[in-house]
Structures are given as structure tokens and as C-alpha cells.
Amino acid sequence: MQIPFTVAARPDTGLHNAKLGIWLFLASEVMLFGALFSSYILLRVAAPEWPHGSTLLNVPLATLNTVILISSSVTMVMSWASLMLKDFAKYKHYMGLTILCGLLFLLVKGFEYGAKFSHGIMPGEDLFYATYFTLTGLHGLHVVGGIVVNFYFWGPGSKMWQTEPQRFTNRIEVAGLYWHFVDLVWIFLFPTLYLL
Amino acid sequence: MEHASPEAIKKHVRTYVIVFVSLMALTVITVAISYLHLDVTAAVIVAMFIATIKGSLVASYFMHLISEKKLIVLALILTAVFFIALMALPLLGYHDTIG
């Protein structure tokens, strides 16, 4: 089956279908994370006491992860810009860096989780850790999903550049929109969990 | 955006670099302010204010919202309305003193 409007804009929306599709998906993601943030506020306001994140969590490591994720957003948008400039080699370079940053983020997160687990601190420890592991865990799963998609477009999926370059460029733009959203969520998660 | 000229894209790239530097600076500021140990209300307001600026930079420039089609902006305005309602729910509960 031929998917319509993968390159040309649909006359009524003015957009190619993937672009509208990803934005509607991201809107649903806003509500998913929004529901968790809302629950977090309710739990925190209602709790008799709540520890300051920095007393229990590793702020320098989380700051490092913020730097890594923001950097990966820049390399992601640069990979798209490289395709717009018809420079496939540069695209591979920047997409590769984006994937590496994603993996590095997970490595640091894994180190943070490992430090907690080794002290016997599990998600069921208390309300603080339950919300911490739920929010960062869901975000981490999103990072994993993004890495899988980006890896496909870096490797086997990049063959499309030879046959349908504009369609492939659109795919990278759409994958980028998702990746930037994951970065955006972390921008709010970091101060909420670690600095307040 | 699909048919942007190479010159326009190169201009975009310069913007991305400026946004990147701004995001890094704001990250440093957020962490530095947390060491001032402001009272909780002030700390929440400052941290969320900076996070909102950072988020807006990502959405506007990396996600190209600043030059995006009207339909997407409309869909996001609708999302924002529901998001704000979702954030207001705990406040309603907090002010509900009946019982």
C-alpha cells in the first residue's frame, strides 16, 4: 500500500502526513507526562515532609546528563540540516553523535540507578523514590525508543537517501521532533527532581 | 522548511549554535541558583521560569515551532489548555477543604 503525502504537503493541512502525525503523538505525550507531573505535585503538596532532591540524588551527574541531552539535541538538528544541505557524510557523523549521546545519557542514568540499588534503595523505598524512579524510568524508556529509531535511520534505514532523499530528510525531521521532545521533558524533570 | 535554500539553512545552523550556548548557560544558572537555598516558593518559581525559557528555546528553534504551520500551532494551543487544566487539578484538591 502506498502511503500518501510523505513528501508533498496535503492540500488541506499544508503539511506532509508524518509531520502532523508526530505532532499529534507529541500532544498525547504532553498529556502522559503531564498526568505524572500533576500526580507529583499532588503527592508533594499533600506530603507532611518532602526531602530536597539534592540531599538524596547526585546533582553533578544529573547536570552532566542535562549537558549530554542538550548536546544531542543540537547534533540531531545538525543531522537534519546536513541533509538539507545534501551532505550525507555529515548527516552520518551528526546522527552517530546523537546516538552516542543517547547511550551516554543511559550509561550515566544506569550508574545513578546502580548506586541506589547497591544501597538497597528500590522504587518502593518511599514516596520520593517512587516518583523519582517512575518519572526518570519513563523518560529513560523514551530515550531508549529514540536511540532505536535513530540507529535505524543511521544504519539500514539510511538507504532511502539514495532513492527518495526528500522523504528521508522528512523522516529525520520527524525523528528529531521526537528527540527534542525527550530533551524538553528532561529540562523540566531535572530541576523538579534534583534541585527542588 | 522543506524547500529552504542552502543560505537559509546555514543561517539556521548559526541560530542553533546560539540556542545551544544559551541552553548551557541557563543550565549553569539553574544549578548555581539551587545552591543559594532560596525558600521553597521562590526556588520553584525561579527553577520553573528558567526551565520554561529553556523549553521554549528548544520548541521554537530546534523543533521549528517559530515558523511552523498554523494547524500544528492550533493543535498545541489545545494541548496547552488541557495541560494547564491537568496542572490545576492538584490545586483544586489543595483548596478543597470540605470534609
ipTM of the complex: 0.93
pLDDT band at A113 (very low <50, low <70, confident <90, very high): very high
Cα→Cα distances B77→A51, A140, A176, B31, B50, Å = 35, 27, 21, 30, 21
Q: A31–B82: do the CB atoms touch at under 8 Å?
A: yes
Q: With CA atoms as reference, report the closest residue to A196 among B80, B75, B46, B65.
A: B46
Q: To which residue does cell 521560569 refer?
A: B49
Longest dimension (CA), chain B: 65
Chain A CB contacts of B27 below 8 Å: 63, 66-67, 70
DSSP A47: S
Segment A50-55 shows an average pLDDT of 93
pLDDT of B96 strictly over 90: no
Section A50-65 average pLDDT = 95
Which pTM was predicted? 0.95
CA nearest to B64, candidates A77, A165, A69: A77
C-alpha cell at A17: 502526513
Distance between CA atoms of residues A187 and A178, nearest Å: 14
CB B55 within 8 A of CB A188: yes
Do B69 and A63 count as a contact with CB atoms less than 8 A apart?
Answer: no
Share above pLDDT 70 across residues of chain A, in percent, rounded to a whole number: 100
pLDDT in tens, B17-63: 999 999 999 999 999 999 998 998 999 999 999 999 999 999 999 99
pLDDT at B89: 85
Q: Check whether A155 has a pLDDT greater than 60.
A: yes
pLDDT in tens, A176-191: 999 999 999 999 999 9
Show which of residues 16-35 on chain A sit within 8 Å of chain B, judged by CB atoms: 16, 19-20, 23-24, 27, 30-31, 34-35
Which of the residue ranges B6-10, B23-27, B88-92 would you say has the lowest mean pLDDT? B88-92
User: Pick from A42, A70, A181: which is nearest to B23 by CB?
Assistant: A70
